Amino acid sequence: MLRLHELGWGTRRIAREFGGGRNTVRRHLESDGWAPYGGSRRGGKLDGLDAWLRERFFRHRGNAEVVRQELSSELGVEASLRTVERAVAPHRRRLRAEARATLRFETPPGRQLQIDFGEARVPVGGERVLFTAPFR
């Protein structure tokens, strides 16, 4: 863009060449090359509710629909399910990580304990009674 501008091209012609807008070309020319993305400047429906969303999300074990319903009934904030899902996405990753985390105990061969569950009829007071218990 800078080189074409130096050759005398106008912002409209450069914008047509690159398939962008005149204001974008103008911004790049004013910044002498690269210009960072400005980002979205408007706030969202759920701004400032991070702690509330986090607490409710973990209370309901990751059910974003229940969180959305409570958001509406308790705070009067109407939001789509997808909006709530995007807001709680970092917390959902934490729930998945916690579910995958396991603690493993290694025991030497011959030292493991195995328990089999079963049933047996045993005499109690002269009557055969069904007994269910773990057998070792």
Cβ atoms 15, 27 nearer than 8 A: no
Q: What is the pLDDT of residue 14?
A: 93
Torsion angle of the four alpha carbons 59, 60, 64, 68, in this order, in degrees rounded to the nearest 10: -80
Per-residue model confidence as pLDDT tens digits over 18-73? 998 999 889 888 888 777 777 767 788 899 999 999 999 999 989 999 999 999 99
Greater confidence (42 vs 126) lies with 126
Which residue in 108, 67, 98 sits closest to 84, CA to CA? Answer: 67
Whole-number Å distance between alpha carbons of 9 and 112? 81
* Domain spans of the chain, in order of start: 1-36, 50-100
Give the mean model confidence (pLDDT) for residues 7-18.
94
